[in-house]
Amino acid sequence: MPTILDNLNWRYATKKFDATKQAGEADISVLKQAVNLAATSFGLQPFRVAVVTDQAIKDKLKAAAYDQTQVADASHIFVFAAKKTMSAEYVDDFIKMTAQQRAIPLESVEGYGEYIKGSISSHDDEFILNWNKRQAYIALGTLLAAAAEQRLDACPMEGFEPAKFDEILGLADKGLTACVIAPVGYRSEEDHAQNYAKVRFPLGEMFL
């Protein structure tokens, strides 16, 4: 069985996907569960993910991604969209969900909710949006590792126009804004990037 290092060496930021190959729904379900299991600050999961498969929409997204072909050719496009705000109501709902899913009295977690709300209220809107985006990036990392384990190719991408993605996918209406995406599918045999050696700082430089 491959180790996590085998998987991370196998994966690469796929530049050209095979547009004729579709990822199976069972594999995609594993990726969705992995994203949902990613760690987030306080557990708030302040982002949502659109998974786009419709070719007409993928073509529109490609145009809004500087014509990067991955967005049209990959079978599933995971679009991570950060919540623009963090409200007291959202935290209250999260606390109710915590009590339900752990089958514990609401009163036993209300203090935790108050603590979270206190922490949030000390920050301005810009901080909150950036904080929410950071949580989405942790989930992106989890997705990349999970995809590699499934032997699915992926490409993390920031090279797109968030405002256009928001409009195409109706994210703004939901209080969300796209921050990072991951086309997922199968690499094209013609993708030269799969043969490139990994370029990384030596461990002795990375670790202080």
Ligand X SMILES: Cc1cc2nc3c(=O)[nH]c(=O)nc-3n(C[C@H](O)[C@H](O)[C@H](O)COP(=O)(O)O)c2cc1C
Positions 104 through 133 that interact with ligand X (CB under 6 A): none
Which range binds ligand X by CB under 6 A, 88-96, 120-128, 151-159, 165-173?
151-159
Q: Which two tokens stand for residue 100?
A: 């339900």
CA distance 179 to 159: 10
Helix 162-169, helix 55-63: angle, nearest 10: 160
Positions 179 through 208 that interact with ligand X (CB under 6 A): 180, 198
CA distance 15 to 109: 46
Minimum Å distance from CB 54 to ligand X? Answer: 21
Close Cβ partners of 62 (under 8 Å, ≥ 6 residues apart): 68, 69, 71, 72
Is 157 a residue that touches ligand X (CB under 6 A)?
yes
Minimum Å distance from CB 100 to ligand X? Answer: 34
Is 155 a residue that touches ligand X (CB under 6 A)?
yes
Residue 144 sits at φ, ψ, to 5 deg, of -60, -40
> Closer to ligand X at the Cβ: 77 or 180?
180
> Closer to ligand X at the Cβ: 13 or 109?
13
Q: Which residue has 């990613």 as its token pair?
A: 38
Enumerate binding residues for ligand X (CB under 6 A): 12-13, 15, 68, 155-159, 180, 198
